[in-house]
Amino acid sequence: MASDVFVLLKTYNNSTKVDLTHDLSAQRAAVDRVLSAFRSICGPDGVSLGEAVREQHGKDESVHKCRPPDVVVFPRCVEEVSALAKVCHDHNLPIIPFGTGTGLEGGVGAVKGGVCFSLRNMDQVLDLHPEDFDVTVEPGVTRKALNAYLRDTGLWFPVDPGADASLCGMAATSASGTNAVRYGTMRENTLNLEVVLSDGRIIHTAGKGRRPRKTSAGYNLTNLFVGSEGTLGIITKTTLRLYGIPEAMVSAVCSFPSIQAAVDSTVQILQAGVPIARIGEEEREKLKIICDFKNSCENHDAYSTDVCVPLSRLPQIIVETKEDLLESRLTGPIAGHVGDGNFHCLMVVDPNDPDEQHRVHLFAERLARRALAMGGTCTGEHGVGLGKRVLLQEEVGPLAIQVMQGLKETLDPKNLMNPGKILLGLKGKRLFLGV
Amino acid sequence: MASDVFVLLKTYNNSTKVDLTHDLSAQRAAVDRVLSAFRSICGPDGVSLGEAVREQHGKDESVHKCRPPDVVVFPRCVEEVSALAKVCHDHNLPIIPFGTGTGLEGGVGAVKGGVCFSLRNMDQVLDLHPEDFDVTVEPGVTRKALNAYLRDTGLWFPVDPGADASLCGMAATSASGTNAVRYGTMRENTLNLEVVLSDGRIIHTAGKGRRPRKTSAGYNLTNLFVGSEGTLGIITKTTLRLYGIPEAMVSAVCSFPSIQAAVDSTVQILQAGVPIARIGEEEREKLKIICDFKNSCENHDAYSTDVCVPLSRLPQIIVETKEDLLESRLTGPIAGHVGDGNFHCLMVVDPNDPDEQHRVHLFAERLARRALAMGGTCTGEHGVGLGKRVLLQEEVGPLAIQVMQGLKETLDPKNLMNPGKILLGLKGKRLFLGV
């Protein structure tokens, strides 16, 4: 009973596209006034204006590009994060939190310039409680680093989005990955967060130092910040659930005559209650080979997009998506988590071919709308970032968007926290009029 | 592998208390002006001013009592809920949603009078998708009714708080129960909500008709409303995850020399990855016998309180709680979900013995503070309601309370939605000053 089962379903092959919007004009005046304050907070080595550093902190692993931040700061503790945020708040400077830069929807682009908070120097694993199956980590701790740290405890943290992402960044983007069928996503595995609000105040979403495995005490602030993509505050600590490492893991590769047959089998496996950890497709490995090759030889970009639909709609959306890829003259594999209806198109795009880039963008939009038409979501695990703001509006409708805008204005009235992400606009969008 | 394991740990026995605050003065003037509007919306039979009906809708299964609503309405569909809410909003009348009245922290008491929305006539199971493991229900559907409906599908909804509660009410209170160790709570099992806001507008937290098993699209509105106890809106539909019924269920009763040994075994069971559904204690049955007896013979009240602590702290808190019960001259069993650190004291109290009632209240407060001191929560699954508002403040701290107040004011600026629950006060509590 103490085993995880991995099922790999055989499927096919296909392709990609990209958008590059560069705007590198600096917005240094306001920043210049606060540099000495920044340096006195996190030391002269904790503030960087270098172009290479700023460039590196202005983009993630997606093709979405806008502009780099005006300055990058490297706080060493939550008190420094708080002090830096206060300065930014006083001077109306945008704040963009940065973990490992492994996001896929442009979440770290400095749309309005401002200050990138690189949190890599806060890399401590804190408060490991093996007997309670929980641990608290700072934003510089990646999931692989945590699992290496846990190696001798018999425990692990199973949420695995592929990249070796910062765990606090994974909380910020509501990441999940291939093991979500069994272990859930960051939403289910985050017990508490320490968050620095836009004015520097420090909040603990479930109360300071608390780590009950469940609670019904008050509004669920933890899950308000999970998935908020840095737009409501800076996550400086995350308390996570841990799990016993399965004594045995069983992997199986099954061939099916059709995608419908593969999905039908998945439904039956889930219905039978088999403790499946992941049910994927073989494309992932194939893709990696293609990407590694193309990246090393031809300097292509990778374009990754994801959607999630109810299980039963997977065959139809996959078939339609493959046809669309062909018609769009794109090749890129589909990698799916069949167990939860989430799948990706991972494509390689020539950054010097604007026509191909355009076709990939149109393809990704059609894919998302296809998912929406089937009762699904435009993103199962990548987040909204810059890339899916219009699609989010279509997904949840104008009133839900107004509620989100209301929450944003409540928690960040100056719109300084990672501005321009998730929501397209804010001004004048009061939820209740005339009250 | 397709089995659930139930482990019953042997433990002990003990006892209870209550607070009765009656204030039955009517606040009919504003209500009188809107009665004809109410009747035109949901028919003459859909509006009740009868004292017995109002009394019945002003209390739950707890000992917390304040006052009944001024009127009870029985809408038949979301459009009627919306129209009724609009009238209330226009006339500044409080709105108290009512499911089955099985809450345990006074969540349906009409603190400021107002209009109780009894949702029992909205009792349809909608949109069952067995192949996608999801279903949508109206607020009149209880968990037992849903599971009876599902009987022939091989599926079930496993969240089980004990009472045959309304599933939408369970979402509103973030309920869970004995199966949470394996299947999670309402937080993990709610995919989408239809909610009527205080002014009558209808929102779908994940977008209308959407039911992906996971999403990272925008702020997690679903989990903002789950656990909001009717203070942010009226839940009129809930889309839930379903699970395959285990082919086999194995129950085991184990005796341990000490609570420490029982908890140690629990940790080892969890660490080994055994698909445990629940790990409880034998007190529950014993309690039921005691309560049934006392209620039938002596007209006693039942007082139930719950806390949740990290697993490793269970032995200490249980030992201290048993000592406290003895010293407080109270008897009442402790029923625990050892698998997640959640446990209850279920006590019987003489409503005519104010001294006993006082002792039970003090005992319950000490229990909650003991849990807080151990990094736990003052409520794992009952919610805050009227009973734990001060404890919530101690649990999350003043800034988190301010954030919660800010969210409340954003979604319910007139403070009409179930006023007086969860939060103690609202006025002048702006989260950001001087912005």
User: Which residue, among B152, B151, B149, B132, has the nearest Cα to B240 in the 3D structure?
Assistant: B132
User: For B231-280, what is each residue's pLDDT tens digit?
Assistant: 999 999 999 999 999 888 888 788 888 878 887 888 788 777 777 777 76
Please state, in angstroms and rounded to a whole number, the distance separating the CA atoms of residues B193 and B207.
Answer: 9
> Which of A217, A228, A232 lies at the smallest CB-CB distance from B377?
A217
In a domain, A403, yes or no: no
Residue contact A214–B342, C-beta within 8 A:
yes
- B329 and B265 part of one domain: yes
Distance of alpha carbon A135 from alpha carbon A237, whole angstroms:
10
> Which residues in chain B touch residue A207, judged by CB atoms under 8 angstroms apart?
372, 377, 395-397, 400
Asked if residue B22 lies in contact with residue B268, where contact means CB atoms within 8 angstroms, the answer is no
Kindly state whether residue B414 falls inside one of the protein's structural domains.
no
Same domain, A238 and A325: no
- CA distances A427 to A11, A394, A402, Å, are 47, 19, 11
CB of A386 less than 8 A from some CB of B:
no
For residues B297 and A4, what is the distance between their CA atoms, to the nearest angstrom?
Answer: 52
The answer to whether B130 touches A267, Cβ cutoff 8 Å, is no
Three-state DSSP at B113 gives strand
Are A134 and B275 in contact (CB < 8 Å)?
A: no
Do B59 and B196 lie in one domain? The reply is yes
Shared domain for B232 and B315, answered yes or no, is no
Which chain B residue shows the shortest CA-CA distance from A246?
Answer: B273
Helix or strand (DSSP H, E) at B115: strand B115-118
Nearest chain B residue to A391, by CA: B217
A-B contacts at Cβ under 8 angstroms: 331
Pick among B128, B183, B215, B269 to test the A interface (most A CBs inside 10 A):
B215
**Does residue B428 belong to any structural domain of this protein?**
no
Given a cut of 80, whether residue B339 has pLDDT beyond it is yes
Looking at the structure, do residues A75 and A130 belong to the same domain, yes or no?
yes
B316 touches B363 (CB < 8 A): no
| Domain ranges, residue B347 | 259-390
**B422/A244 touch (CB, cutoff 8 Å), yes or no:** no
Shared domain check, A201 and A298:
no
Strands (E), B282-320: 301-308
Enumerate residues 6+ apart whose C-beta is below 8 A from A112: A27, A94, A419, A420
Is B15 part of a structural domain of the chain?
yes
User: Of the spans A260-264, B5-9, B282-286, which averages the highest pLDDT?
Assistant: A260-264
Please, which residues bridge with residue B345 across strands? B305, B334
Last residue of some domain: A217, A246, A275?
Answer: A246
Q: How many CB atoms lie within 10 A of CB A299?
A: 10
Full-model pTM = 0.91
CB B332 within 8 A of CB B326: no
Return the pLDDT at B285.
58
Same domain assignment for residues A184 and A316: no
Where does the pLDDT of residue B19 fall: very low under 50, low under 70, confident under 90, or very high at 90 and above? very low
| Residue B233 touches partner A, C-beta closer than 8 Å | no
- Residue to test with chain A: of B135, B213, B367, most A Cβ within 10 A: B213
Assign residue B69 the CATH number of its domain: 3.30.465.10
Q: Which of A84-88, A266-270, B3-7, B103-107 has the lowest mean pLDDT?
A: B3-7
CA distance A310 to chain B (A): 5
Sorting pLDDT into bands at 50, 70 and 90, what band is B27? Answer: low
Measured between alpha carbons, how far is residue A234 from residues A119, A225, A397, A412 in Å? 10, 9, 27, 11
Residue A394 has pLDDT above 90, yes or no: yes
B282 dihedral zone (left: phi>0; alpha: psi -120 to 50; beta): alpha
B52–chain A Cβ distance below 8 A for any pair: no
The reply to whether B267 and B206 lie within a common domain is: no
Inter-chain CB proximity A205 and B176 less than 8 Å: no
* A366 found inside a domain: yes
| DSSP-based three-state secondary structure for A276 | strand
pLDDT score, position B257: 85
Which residues in chain A touch residue B275, judged by CB atoms under 8 angstroms apart? Answer: 1, 273, 275
pLDDT band per the 50, 70, 90 thresholds, residue B292 = low
Confidence band of A13 (pLDDT split at 50, 70, 90): very low
Residues in chain B: 435
Does any CB of chain B come closer than 8 Å to the CB of residue A315?
no
- A95-98/A342-349 β-pairing: unpaired
- B113 belongs to a structural domain: yes
Mutation target among B134, B173, B216 for the A interface, most CBs of A within 10 A: B216
Q: Which of B131, B243, B400 sits opposite A205 (nearest CB)?
A: B400
- A160: number of CA atoms within 13 Å, CB side? 15
- Please say if the pLDDT value at position B284 is more than 60: no
| β-pair type (A115-118, A95-98) | parallel
Helices (H) and strands (E) in chain B — how many of each?
13, 17
Which residues on chain A are in Cβ contact (under 8 Å) with B210? 372, 375-377, 395
- Is the C-alpha dihedral spanning A288, A137, A218, B387 positive or negative? positive
The pLDDT value given to residue B189: 97
Residue B287 pLDDT level (bands cut at 50, 70, 90)? low
Helix, strand, coil share (%) of chain B residues, nearest 5: 35, 20, 40
Residue type (1 letter), A423: L
- Residue A396, chain B, CB below 8 Å: the answer is yes
Domain ends where: B222, B246, B270? Answer: B246
ipTM of the complex: 0.91
What is residue A304's three-state secondary structure?
A: strand
Which of B208, B244, B310 lies at the smallest CB-CB distance from A211?
B310
For the domain that residue B381 is a member of, what is the CATH number?
3.30.70.2740
pLDDT over threshold 80, residue A290: no
User: In the predicted model, is pLDDT for residue B300 greater than 60?
Assistant: yes
User: Residues of chain B with pLDDT > 90: what percent?
Assistant: 66
H or E segment at B146? helix B143-149
Specify whether B29 is located in the same domain as B115: yes
Q: What does pLDDT average to over chain B?
A: 87
Number of domains chain B is built from: 2
Look at residue B375 and tell me if it is in a domain: yes
Contact A130, A211 (CB under 8 A): no
Mutation target vs B (from A90, A213, A226, A395; most B CBs, 10 A cutoff): A213
Rounded distance between C-alpha atoms, residue A98 and residue A73, angstroms: 10
Q: Which of B129, B210, B414 sits opposite A312 (nearest CB)?
A: B129
Q: Quick check: B296 pLDDT over 80?
A: no
Q: Which residues contact B412 (CB under 8 A, 6 or more apart)?
A: B197, B198, B231, B232, B233
The residue from B223, B246, B269 where one domain ends is: B246
Helical (H) or strand (E) element with A430: none
The confidence score (pLDDT) of residue B53 equals 97
Q: For position A329, what pLDDT does the model report?
A: 92
Q: For position B367, what pLDDT does the model report? A: 97
Identify residue A229 by its one-letter amino acid code: E
Name the residue in chain B with its Cα closest to that of A403.
B411
**Tokens standing for residue B135:** 């279903």
Residues B149 and B179 in one domain: yes
Residue type, B154: G
Q: Which chain B positions have a beta carbon within 8 Å of A176's beta carbon? A: 214, 216
Nearest by CB to residue B406, choosing from A378, A381, A410, is A410
Taking a contact as any Cβ pair under 8 Å apart, which residues of chain B between 185 and 204 contact chain A?
Answer: 185, 187-188, 197, 199, 201-204
Q: Which among B376, B378, B377 is positioned nearest to B365, based on CA atoms?
A: B378
User: Who has greater pLDDT, A271 or B410?
Assistant: B410
Same structural domain for residues A219 and A351?
no
Gap from B407 CA to chain A (nearest CA, Å): 7
Residue A414 lies in a domain: no
CB-based contact, A398 to chain B, within 8 Å: no
Residue with the bigger pLDDT between B272 and B54: it is B54
Residue ranges of B 132-161 with Cβ closer than 8 A to chain A: 132-134, 154-155
With CB atoms and an 8 Å threshold, state whether A310 touches B134.
yes
What does the pLDDT average to over A78-100? 97
Nearest to B215 among A1, A199, A377 (CB): A377
pLDDT digits 0-9 by tens, A159-170: 999 999 999 999
Q: Is B220 touching A (CB cutoff 8 A)?
A: yes
Query: Quick one: B315 exposed, middle or buried, by C-beta within 10 A (0-12, 13-18, 19+)?
Result: middle
pLDDT recorded at residue B273: 72
Are residues B56 and B174 located together in one domain of the fold?
A: yes
